[in-house]
Amino acid sequence: MKYIKSGGVAISSQGESSTSEGYVYEAIMEPVMKELPLFVFFQDNGYGISVPKVDQTANYYAATNF
């Protein structure tokens, strides 16, 4: 968006257990490093990849991972 001078906004939509994986940080940090507008959404449905959240992530609240 910055290179082609468009007025877009980057959006990152993740589940809460994705915060235990590195790609979620890349999805957030790239627009931040390039100073682009960014909306980040996390849906907490209590499950990771077919397991309860407690078995997938280290912290009960996804925001704690940041």
Rounded Cα–Cα distance for residues 31 and 46 (Å): 27
Let me know: does 18 contact 66? Beta carbons within 8 Å. Answer: no
DSSP H or E stretch at residue 39? strand 38-43
Q: Per residue in 20-58, is it b (16+ CB within 10 Å) or e — as a string?
A: beeebeebbeebeeeeeebeeebeeeeebeeeebeebbe
| 23-33 pLDDT per residue, tens | 888 888 888 88
pLDDT higher than threshold 80 for residue 17:
no
Q: How many CA atoms lie within 13 A of 62 on its CB side?
A: 22
Determine what percent of the chain is predicted with pLDDT higher than 70. Answer: 95
The pLDDT score that the predictor gives to residue 44 is 81
What would the mean pLDDT of 42-64 be, rounded to a whole number?
A: 76
